[in-house]
C-alpha cells in the first residue's frame, strides 16, 4: 500500500463539507430506531461518514480515521475506549507482516523468488503468466500488501520481460506486455482472497466476524477454506486472460534465459536474504500449524521481526521509514475500534432484523447467492477493498446469519469475495491505477478483462468453493 499524496485544497474542502452534511442528515434527519440511543445513532453516523470519506477521499484514509476517532470522543466515548483498537493483536500482526515484506523487497529475496519461477516455467507467455501468479500466491502467504506484491515486486519484472520482445505501451503492447500486466492485476486479487494475510482488510474482516456473529477466523482456518477454490481461480486467471488479450508472442525462450542471467548476476543468497528467507519460511510454517501448537499468530510475527532486528537484516531506521506500514497501522487500528463501537450501538442488528423480514419464506441459499452477486458487483462503486468490505460486510453478514445461513458459510463467502471484485476496474484497489498507468492496457480492455474474469471467479467460488466448504463442514 502506498501512502497517499496531499489532496488539492478545493477537493479537500468540498469533500469535508459533504461529509459534515452527511453526518447532520444521518444523525438528525434520518429517523432513529427506538432500540438505538441518540449517542449510539451519532456513533453510526460518524462511522458511515468515515466510510463515505474513504470512497470520495477528501483526505487520506488515516487522516479520516483520526478525525472519526476525535468525533467519537466528542460524542462522549471515553478516550481510552476510543484508542483501544491500537492495542489489538491483529493490528500489530498487519504492521509486522508489512515490515517483513519490506525486508523481502529490499534484500532482493522477492525478486529472486519471481525469477526462479520464471526460469522454471517461463518458456511461453502463458508460462510467464503462471510464474508471476505463483510468485504472488507464494508472497501473499505473509505479505499483506497487494501494492507491494503486484506493483512493487512483480510489475518491474513483467515490464523487463516485455522489453525483451520490444513490447511497449502503444502499438506493440499486445505482443506480450498487455497480457502480463492484465494477468498480474487479475491474479493479485486471487492471492488476496487465498490468505488471511493476503490483504490488510482480511484481518480486519476476521475481527468483525468474531464481534458480529461469533465466528473465529484464523490464519490456518482461512487457508483451509480458501485453498481449493483459490487454487482453481489461480489456475484459471492466466489462461483466461490470455484467451481474452491474445498476445502475439506465445513462445518466450528469452524469458527463462533472462531470469537465469539475472539470478547469476545476483549471485548466491546474501546473508540478509538467508535471514529473511528463514524468517519468512519459519513464520509461514508456524502460521500454518497454529492449530497444533496454539502460538498466537501475532506473537509468531513479532518473533520473526525480532530476528530481523537483532541480526541487523532489517535496521530499525529502515523499519521506521516504512511509511506504508505505519499508515496502515493508524487506519486499521482506528477502523477496527470504530466497527466495534458501531456494533455496540445495535444498529447492525436493527438492519438485519428489518431487511431479514423481507426475505421471509425464501430459502436461505437463494438469498445468499443473490446477496453475494450484489456484494461482488457493487465494487464498481468502490476504489478500495477495505472500504467495500467495511461498508457491506457488517450489515450483510448479520443479515445472512439472521435468516438462517450457517455463520461460517456467510463469513468465508463474504470475506473471500471482498477481494476478488478488485479486478473489475482500473481503480478497484491501490495498485490498479499504478498498473493501468503504465499504459499497456486500454481502458476498454481493462474493464472487459475484469468483467469476464469476474464471471470465472463467481463460477469457481459458487461451485467448487461451496462444494469444498460443504466437504470440510463449513455448512
pLDDT the model gives residue 125: 95
Asked if 443 and 425 count as a contact pair (C-beta separation under 8 A), the reply is: no
Residue 313 lies in a domain: no
Cell 463501537 belongs to which residue? 341
pLDDT the model gives residue 3: 47
Mean pLDDT value across residues 101-110: 87
Q: Write the CA distances from 147 to 102, 154, 324, integer angstroms.
A: 12, 10, 10
Residue 62 lies in a domain: no
Nearest-angstrom CA–CA distance, 158 and 141: 21
pLDDT the model gives residue 28: 94
121: Cβ–Cβ under 8 A, 6 or more apart, which residues? 127, 128, 130, 131, 134
Residue 27 lies in a domain: no
Given a cut of 90, is residue 337 above it in pLDDT?
no
Asked if 118 and 157 count as a contact pair (C-beta separation under 8 A), the reply is: yes
Structure confidence at residue 6 as a pLDDT band (50, 70, 90): low
Nearest-angstrom CA–CA distance, 268 and 218: 36
Residue 199 lies in a domain: yes
Given a cut of 80, is residue 78 above it in pLDDT?
yes
Cell 523487463 belongs to which residue? 160
Residue numbers of the domain that contains 225: 108-267+346-475
Q: 340-349: per-residue pLDDT in tens?
A: 888 788 887 7
Beta bridge partners of 124: 251
Q: 280-304: per-residue pLDDT in tens?
A: 899 888 888 877 888 888 899 999 9
Asked if 215 and 411 count as a contact pair (C-beta separation under 8 A), the reply is: yes
Question: Which residue, among 38, 35, 65, has the nearest Cα to 50 in the 3D structure?
Answer: 65
Structure confidence at residue 5 as a pLDDT band (50, 70, 90): low
Residue 437 lies in a domain: yes
Asked if 288 and 219 count as a contact pair (C-beta separation under 8 A), the reply is: yes
- The number of distinct structural domains making up the chain is 1
**Stated pTM of the model:** 0.81
Residue 60 lies in a domain: no
Structure confidence at residue 83 as a pLDDT band (50, 70, 90): very high
Given a cut of 50, is residue 18 above it in pLDDT?
yes
pLDDT the model gives residue 323: 87
More confident site: 231 or 106: 231
Task: Supply 270's cell numbers.
Answer: 546474501
Residue 92 lies in a domain: no
Q: 208-247: per-residue pLDDT in tens?
A: 899 889 999 999 999 999 999 999 999 999 999 999 999 9
HEC letters along the chain: CCCCCCCCHHHHHHHHHHHHHHHHHHHHCCCCCCCCCHHHHHHHHHHHHHHHHHHHCCCCHHHHHHHHHHHHHHCCCCHHHHHHHHHCHHHHHHHHHHHHHHHHHHHCHHHHHHHHHHHHHCCEHHHHHHHHHHHHHHHHCCCCCHHHHHHHHHHHHHHHHHHHCCCCCCCCHHHCHHHHHHHHHHHHHHHHHHCCCCCHHHHHHHHHHHHHHCCCCCHHHHHHHHHHHHHHHHHHHHHHHHHHHCCCCCECCHHHHHHHHHHHHHCCCCHHHHHHHHHHHHHHHHHHCHHHHCCCHHHHHHHHHHHHHHHCCCCHHHHHCCHHHHHHHHHHHHHHHHHHHHHHHCHHHHHHHHHHHHHCCCCHHHHHHHHHHHHHHHHHHCCCHHHHHHHHHHHHHHHHHHCCCCHHHHHHHHHHHCCHHHHHCCCCCCHHHHHHHCCCCCHHHHHHHHHHHHHHHHHHHHHHHHHHHHHCCCC
Q: 135-162: per-residue pLDDT in tens?
A: 999 999 888 888 888 988 899 999 989 9
pLDDT the model gives residue 1: 41
Residue 69 lies in a domain: no
More confident site: 107 or 383: 107
Q: 373-422: per-residue pLDDT in tens?
A: 989 998 887 778 888 888 889 889 988 998 899 999 999 999 999 999 99
What backbone phi and psi angles, to 5 degrees, belong to 312? Answer: 80, 5
Amino acid at each position: 500500500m502506498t501512502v497517499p499524496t496531499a489532496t488539492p485544497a478545493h477537493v479537500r474542502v468540498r469533500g469535508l463539507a459533504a461529509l459534515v452534511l452527511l453526518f447532520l442528515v444521518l444523525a438528525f434527519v434520518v429517523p432513529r430506531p427506538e432500540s438505538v440511543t441518540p449517542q449510539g445513532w451519532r456513533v453510526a453516523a460518524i462511522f458511515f461518514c468515515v466510510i463515505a470519506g474513504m470512497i470520495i477521499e477528501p483526505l487520506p484514509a488515516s487522516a479520516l480515521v483520526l478525525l472519526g476517532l476525535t468525533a467519537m470522543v466528542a460524542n462522549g466515548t471515553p478516550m481510552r475506549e476510543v484508542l483501544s483498537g491500537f492495542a489489538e493483536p491483529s493490528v500489530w500482526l498487519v504492521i509486522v507482516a508489512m515490515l517483513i515484506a519490506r525486508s523481502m523487497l529490499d534484500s532482493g529475496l522477492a525478486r529472486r523468488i519471481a525469477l526462479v519461477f520464471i526460469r522454471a516455467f517461463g518458456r511461453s507467455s502463458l508460462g510467464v503468466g503462471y510464474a508471476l501468479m505463483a510468485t504472488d500466491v507464494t508472497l501473499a502467504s505473509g505479505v499483506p500488501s497487494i501494492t507491494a506484491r503486484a506493483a512493487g515486486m512483480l510489475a518491474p519484472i513483467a515490464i523487463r520481460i516485455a522489453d525483451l520482445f520490444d513490447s511497449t505501451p502503444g502499438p506493440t503492447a499486445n505482443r506480450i506486455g498487455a497480457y502480463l500486466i492484465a494477468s498480474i492485476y487479475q491474479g493479485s486479487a486471487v492471492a488476496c482472497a487465498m490468505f488471511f494475510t493476503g490483504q490488510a482488510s482480511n484481518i480486519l474482516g476476521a475481527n468483525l466476524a468474531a464481534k458480529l456473529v461469533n465466528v473465529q477466523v484464523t490464519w490456518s482456518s482461512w487457508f483451509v477454506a480458501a485453498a481449493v477454490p483459490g487454487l482453481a481461480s489461480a489456475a484459471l486467471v492466466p489462461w483466461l486472460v490470455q484467451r481474452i488479450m491474445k498476445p502475439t508472442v506465445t513462445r518466450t525462450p528469452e524469458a527463462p534465459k533472462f531470469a537465469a542471467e539475472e539470478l547469476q548476476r545476483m549471485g548466491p543468497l546474501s546473508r540478509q536474504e538467508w535471514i529473511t528467507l528463514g524468517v519468512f519460511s519459519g513464520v509461514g510454517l508456524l502460521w500454518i500449524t497454529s492449530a497444533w501448537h496454539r502460538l498466537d499468530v501475532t506473537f509468531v510475527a513479532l518473533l520473526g521481526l525480532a530476528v530481523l532486528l537483532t541480526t541487523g537484516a532489517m535496521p530499525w531506521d529502515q523499519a521506521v521509514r516504512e511509511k506504508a506500514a505505519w499508515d496502515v497501522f493508524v487506519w486499521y487500528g482506528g477502523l477496527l475500534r470504530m466497527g466495534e463501537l458501531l456494533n455496540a450501538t445495535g444498529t447492525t442488528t436493527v438492519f438485519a432484523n428489518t431487511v431479514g423480514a423481507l426475505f421471509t419464506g425464501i430459502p436461505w441459499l437463494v438469498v445468499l447467492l443473490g446477496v453475494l452477486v450484489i456484494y461482488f458487483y457493487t465494487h464498481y462503486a468502490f476504489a478500495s477493498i477495505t472500504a467495500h468490505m467495511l461498508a457491506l460486510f457488517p450489515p450483510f453478514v448479520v443479515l445472512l446469519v439472521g435468516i438462517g445461513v450457517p455463520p461460517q458459510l456467510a463469513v468465508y463467502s463474504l470475506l473471500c469475495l471482498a477481494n476478488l471484485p478488485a479486478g473489475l476496474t482500473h481503480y478497484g484497489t491501490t495498485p490498479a491505477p499504478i498498473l493501468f498507468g503504465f499504459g499497456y492496457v486500454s481502458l476498454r480492455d481493462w474493464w472487459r478483462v475484469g468483467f469476464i474474469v469476474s464471471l470465472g471467479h463467481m463460477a469457481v467460488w459458487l461451485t467448487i468453493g461451496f462444494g469444498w466448504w460443504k466437504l470440510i463442514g463449513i455448512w
